[in-house]
Chains A and B, each alone.
Chain A
Amino acid sequence: MRLREHPILHFRRGRELTIYFEGRPIKAYEGETIAMALHAAGIRVLNHSPNKNRPRGLFCAIGKCSSCLMVVNGIPNVRTCITLVEDGMRIERQKGRARLPIKAKPPEFREAKVVKADIVVIGGGPAGLMGAINASDAGARVVLLDENPMLGGQLVKQTHKFFGKREQFAGVRGVEIAKILEEEVRKRENVEVFLETSAVGIFHDGNEKLVLGVRKNRELIEFRGRAVIVATGAMERMIPFENNDLPGIYGAGAIQTLMNTYGVKPGERVLIVGAGNVGLILAYQLVQAGVEVRAIVEAMPKVGGYFVHAAKVKRLGVPILTGHTILRAEGKERVERAVVAQLDENWKPIPGTEKVFDVDVIALAVGLRPSIELLHQAGCQIRFIRELGGHVAVRDEWMETTVRGIFVAGDSAGIEEATTAMLEGKIAGIAATLRLGIAEEGWVKEIEGAQRDLEEFRSGPFGRHVAEGIRKLLEGVGNA
């Protein structure tokens, strides 16, 4: 189930190779992740849950959840959604809790590789890339790490054209913006990039910050700098309903990863839950890829996303059922049906209004929450701000958190969108460079310019909500 033709994307697949799923050979392509290759081969159940032995499949596809953990070459708990295939790899479903490979030999010790820079940027999405580019232009040596095998974050799966100003890439597709930013980063000699590298902790060592990295699950790297920009993005929300863990229920982003990044068809018939921008954009991306979208259900009485997106979806013939929610998923080892119902004014399902959709995929586009784990671990003060998507780090107008030298940008600072993430990344990159005494004073003007752009962007009806959240954050309102 691989996509061969797409109106916008061209899938350049690497060398063909063979992996073995429970002994069975499976064709895969160099450069794709294990979970993608398995999905293309029709394998949906990736493991069985530790406590109730329930089948589980892909959910987030960007390494943020534990839904795709498998045993790879005898090693358990491997996040197969961000681990690249290698020829001859042996892959097994993990059943219950992980059993360590008992015959492992004692390791040979080496000192950890040390990478020094002025600024360590964690996350290679729009915020991190812009942070790195601007910090570098302002004179800093930058090292950027990302645990995914490619740069661009969630831009790499956005086929739609962006809004806003020309200098904010208006009219350019997300996937193209990712390429432009990557080229910009790659051509700067004072930016070093580490992919497939997870940041597992931030330690304070005098004036130095130590970001502990693990590359390809085996190599320890100490990233040492004087400032850190955390641009770790967000993670998909889950909502409660019966059987919400059945394989075939994916976060919206995972479906985009499957079809737009790796050219794997997510399924045949889809029900989307949530009519915000993500749900709406996903609907027409699915149609682009030749997948049928049966309906979008939205619990709120009206569509949450931009009117232009909603209009486009309706033109494509996809019904949007407002005031509806999903009651349950049905199916044995994978989604076979979804049951939805209408809601009364107290958000209770109205008996007798149930509708059954014969779908094999349920897409959850019910919002995101900031990935703040590293910020929390590093000791940054955290507050709950509903308008920003939940718990976020307290930060100032230069994106510096309450821990001196640790900056935040993009969705990890509060859920918004790629355009604002890029602007925040720019501010954080320049601010960190200024704080370190590297950048010339003149760079303050660049920060002010980006702040004006942000303000303008947030003056619309959608942005105002976020601006209100940021106001609360800056004024110290909200639950600590």
Chain B
Amino acid sequence: MSKIAVIGGGIIGVATAYELAKLGEDVILFEKNYFGSGSTFRCASGIRAQFTDEANVRLMKYAVERWERLEDELGFDINFRQTGYLFLATSEEEIEAFKANIRLQNRFGVPTRLIDMDEAKEIVPILNPEPFLAGTWNPRDGKANPFKTLFAYLFRAREMGVDAREHTEVIGFEREGDEITAVRYRSRGKAESVKVDAVLNATNAWAPTINEMAGLKRGIVPIKVYKHQLVKTELLEKGQAEPLVCPPSWNDAYIIQDGEDGGIICGAGIEHEARGLNDVEPTYDFLRGVLRYAVMMAPPLKYAHVIRQWAGFYAKTPDRNPAIGKLLEDFYISAGFSGHGFMMAPAVAQAMAELIARGRSKVPIDWEWYDPYRFERGELHTSAFQIG
């Protein structure tokens, strides 16, 4: 049994701590603020296998299968619901591109299909079909409750002995030669250290700082942090816009009905490079912009009240694919999720835990694709299909 430090108490860190404990490892988990405070509790909650490259399609197909069993496995309601993702096309060229995506997804067992606007309107009663020609529909995509999911993982992780600490900030590493021997951290103003055998950097937007502490170049995994905002309406009757609906050509605007209270969450690719890692202040231009798309997509929304607006971070790598793998002999990274951390968590956490504990994984993950050194080598992939 090795002692493993997981840094970052978002969904990736918490789920990986859980998976490591399942494999019998001794885990200490650090979160400098409160669990979920970074990006997880700010996310739009969507889960999809509709990607446009083999690596992400296969990883997310597996992740969805894990999501389907996660409630049973964790023994908590996490409100995972397969309400689908519906992408809408506005031109013939886009339909052709959609068809190519569908062929790829179908090849790996993801049951996406092209639907006409009559069917789309049946699935999303408040949809305005006029501006759109067709849609790609995968009924097995869905959503889950980020709060419940994180707490379920955390509860089970602690039950298996994970020492999970919040308001505890990692401030450095102790090393002997190239080897990391201990993690130094600060809690309630007091600095302490703990001996460890390996470290996982699961701090997403904050990952470059931790890489630097490990003696690596800050930009070894180049992560640029963008402020992404969402608005949400008052609670509404369920079933009015359950799937995530998105015309990619409308600046990635999307709507999705919250699985808990029925409020409709509206997002769009109106992004700002964050002024800093404290900059989560909502902006008026986003509010105006996103609602303009939302009411064109679903005109009845013009009668709904927006009651909330908030921001979180997309920690983007140059190719919008995360960096998952080994950076040093005893230092791993799982970060730069570019907006896909929540949906990927069950698969990535398992893969990373198995990599750390066993050196290989049963998860169909393309390690080369997510190799954290690819940026250094200048081998970028095609961008992961990212929305919002």
Residue positions of A touching B, CB distance < 8 A? 50, 75-77, 96-102, 104-107, 109, 112, 200-201, 203-205, 210, 212, 379
The yes or no answer to B262 lying at the interface (CB within 8 A) is yes
Which chain A residues border B97 with CB–CB below 8 Å? none
- Whole-angstrom distance between the Cβ of A211 and the nearest chain B Cβ: 11
Q: Which of B130, B235, B299 lies in contact with A50, CB distance below 8 A?
A: B235
Q: Are B301 and A379 in contact (CB under 8 A)?
A: no
* 15 contacting pairs across A/B (C-beta < 8 A): A77-B304, A96-B237, A97-B236, A99-B236, A99-B240, A100-B236, A100-B300, A100-B301, A101-B303, A102-B300, A104-B303, A106-B295, A203-B282, A203-B284, A210-B284
A98-B283 in contact given A104-B299, A104-B302, A107-B299 (Cβ < 8 Å): no
1/0 contact string of B109-150 vs chain A (CB within 8 Å): 000000000000000011010100000000000000000000
Which chain B residues border A212 with CB–CB below 8 Å? 284, 287
- Whole-angstrom distance between the Cβ of B238 and the nearest chain A Cβ: 7
Q: Which of B236, B292, B295, B302 lies in contact with A98, CB distance below 8 A?
A: B236
The yes or no answer to B77 lying at the interface (CB within 8 A) is no
Q: Which of B125, B284, B288, B296 lies in contact with A102, CB distance below 8 A?
A: B125
Q: Are A200 and B300 in contact (CB under 8 A)?
A: no
Which chain B residues border A100 with CB–CB below 8 Å? 126, 236, 240, 300-301, 303-304
- Whole-angstrom distance between the Cβ of A405 and the nearest chain B Cβ: 15
The complex places the Cα of A205 from the Cα of B306 at a distance, in Å, of 20
- Whole-angstrom distance between the Cβ of A38 and the nearest chain B Cβ: 21
Q: Are B234 and A98 in contact (CB under 8 A)?
A: yes
Q: Are B283 and A106 in contact (CB under 8 A)?
A: no
A106-B299 in contact given A50-B235, A99-B237, A100-B126 (Cβ < 8 Å): yes
The yes or no answer to B107 lying at the interface (CB within 8 A) is no
The complex places the Cα of A210 from the Cα of B238 at a distance, in Å, of 33
1/0 contact string of B270-302 vs chain A (CB within 8 Å): 000000000001111001100010011001111
The complex places the Cα of A353 from the Cα of B126 at a distance, in Å, of 56
Which chain A residues border B128 with CB–CB below 8 Å? 106
The complex places the Cα of A75 from the Cα of B287 at a distance, in Å, of 22
Which chain B residues border A379 with CB–CB below 8 Å? 281
Q: Are A204 and B281 in contact (CB under 8 A)?
A: yes
The yes or no answer to B193 lying at the interface (CB within 8 A) is no
- Whole-angstrom distance between the Cβ of B90 and the nearest chain A Cβ: 15
The complex places the Cα of A363 from the Cα of B295 at a distance, in Å, of 42
Which chain B residues border A96 with CB–CB below 8 Å? 237
The yes or no answer to B309 lying at the interface (CB within 8 A) is yes
The yes or no answer to B305 lying at the interface (CB within 8 A) is yes
The complex places the Cα of A97 from the Cα of B300 at a distance, in Å, of 15
Which chain B residues border A201 with CB–CB below 8 Å? 284, 287, 309
- Whole-angstrom distance between the Cβ of B325 and the nearest chain A Cβ: 39
Choose among A98, A99, A100, A109 the residue with the greatest number of B CB atoms under 10 Å from its CB.
A100
Nearest B residue to A210 via CB reads B284
Which chain B residues border A76 with CB–CB below 8 Å? 303
Number of A-B contacts (CB under 8 A): 60
Q: Are A97 and B238 in contact (CB under 8 A)?
A: yes
Nearest B residue to A95 via CB reads B237
The complex places the Cα of A77 from the Cα of B304 at a distance, in Å, of 8
Residue positions of B touching A, CB distance < 8 A? 125-126, 128, 130, 234-238, 240, 262, 281-284, 287-288, 292, 295-296, 299-306, 309
Q: Are B292 and A97 in contact (CB under 8 A)?
A: no
* Closest CB pairs A-B (n = 10): A100-B300, A97-B237, A104-B300, A104-B299, A203-B284, A106-B299, A99-B237, A75-B303, A107-B302, A98-B236
Which chain B residues border A109 with CB–CB below 8 Å? 292
Which chain A residues border B303 with CB–CB below 8 Å? 75-76, 100-101, 104
The complex places the Cα of A104 from the Cα of B295 at a distance, in Å, of 10
- Whole-angstrom distance between the Cβ of A130 and the nearest chain B Cβ: 29
The complex places the Cα of A106 from the Cα of B292 at a distance, in Å, of 10
The complex places the Cα of A248 from the Cα of B338 at a distance, in Å, of 53
Nearest B residue to A97 via CB reads B237
Which chain B residues border A203 with CB–CB below 8 Å? 282-284
Q: Are B292 and A77 in contact (CB under 8 A)?
A: no
Which chain B residues border A104 with CB–CB below 8 Å? 299-300, 302-303
The complex places the Cα of A287 from the Cα of B236 at a distance, in Å, of 42
- Whole-angstrom distance between the Cβ of A255 and the nearest chain B Cβ: 27
Which chain B residues border A97 with CB–CB below 8 Å? 235-238, 262
Q: Are A205 and B284 in contact (CB under 8 A)?
A: yes
Q: Are A98 and B281 in contact (CB under 8 A)?
A: no
Nearest A residue to B264 via CB reads A100
Nearest A residue to B309 via CB reads A201
The complex places the Cα of A203 from the Cα of B282 at a distance, in Å, of 8
The complex places the Cα of A427 from the Cα of B284 at a distance, in Å, of 30
Q: Are A200 and B306 in contact (CB under 8 A)?
A: yes
The complex places the Cα of A50 from the Cα of B262 at a distance, in Å, of 11
The complex places the Cα of A212 from the Cα of B130 at a distance, in Å, of 31
Which chain A residues border B284 with CB–CB below 8 Å? 201, 203, 205, 210, 212
Which chain B residues border A75 with CB–CB below 8 Å? 303
- Whole-angstrom distance between the Cβ of B275 and the nearest chain A Cβ: 13
The complex places the Cα of A379 from the Cα of B279 at a distance, in Å, of 12
- Whole-angstrom distance between the Cβ of B79 and the nearest chain A Cβ: 16
Nearest A residue to B282 via CB reads A203
Nearest A residue to B304 via CB reads A100
Which chain A residues border B237 with CB–CB below 8 Å? 96-99
Q: Which of A50, A101, A112, A205 lies in contact with B300, CB distance below 8 A?
A: A101
- Please give 11 more A-B residue pairs, beta carbons under 8 A apart, in addition to A50-B235, A106-B130, A201-B287: A75-B303, A76-B303, A77-B234, A77-B304, A77-B305, A98-B235, A99-B237, A100-B303, A101-B300, A104-B303, A379-B281
Choose among A96, A97, A201 the residue with the greatest number of B CB atoms under 10 Å from its CB.
A97
- Whole-angstrom distance between the Cβ of B350 and the nearest chain A Cβ: 36
Choose among B262, B284, B292, B303 the residue with the greatest number of A CB atoms under 10 Å from its CB.
B303
Q: Are A102 and B126 in contact (CB under 8 A)?
A: yes
Q: Which of A98, A105, A200 lies in contact with B299, CB distance below 8 A?
A: A105
Nearest A residue to B234 via CB reads A77
Which chain A residues border B130 with CB–CB below 8 Å? 106
The complex places the Cα of A98 from the Cα of B128 at a distance, in Å, of 19
Which chain A residues border B234 with CB–CB below 8 Å? 77, 98
Which chain A residues border B125 with CB–CB below 8 Å? 102
Which chain A residues border B235 with CB–CB below 8 Å? 50, 97-98
Which chain A residues border B282 with CB–CB below 8 Å? 203
Which chain A residues border B288 with CB–CB below 8 Å? 112
Nearest B residue to A200 via CB reads B306
Which chain A residues border B287 with CB–CB below 8 Å? 201, 212
Q: Are B236 and A106 in contact (CB under 8 A)?
A: no
Choose among A104, A105, A204 the residue with the greatest number of B CB atoms under 10 Å from its CB.
A104
- Whole-angstrom distance between the Cβ of B298 and the nearest chain A Cβ: 8
The complex places the Cα of A379 from the Cα of B310 at a distance, in Å, of 13
Choose among B237, B287, B306 the residue with the greatest number of A CB atoms under 10 Å from its CB.
B237
The complex places the Cα of A106 from the Cα of B126 at a distance, in Å, of 11
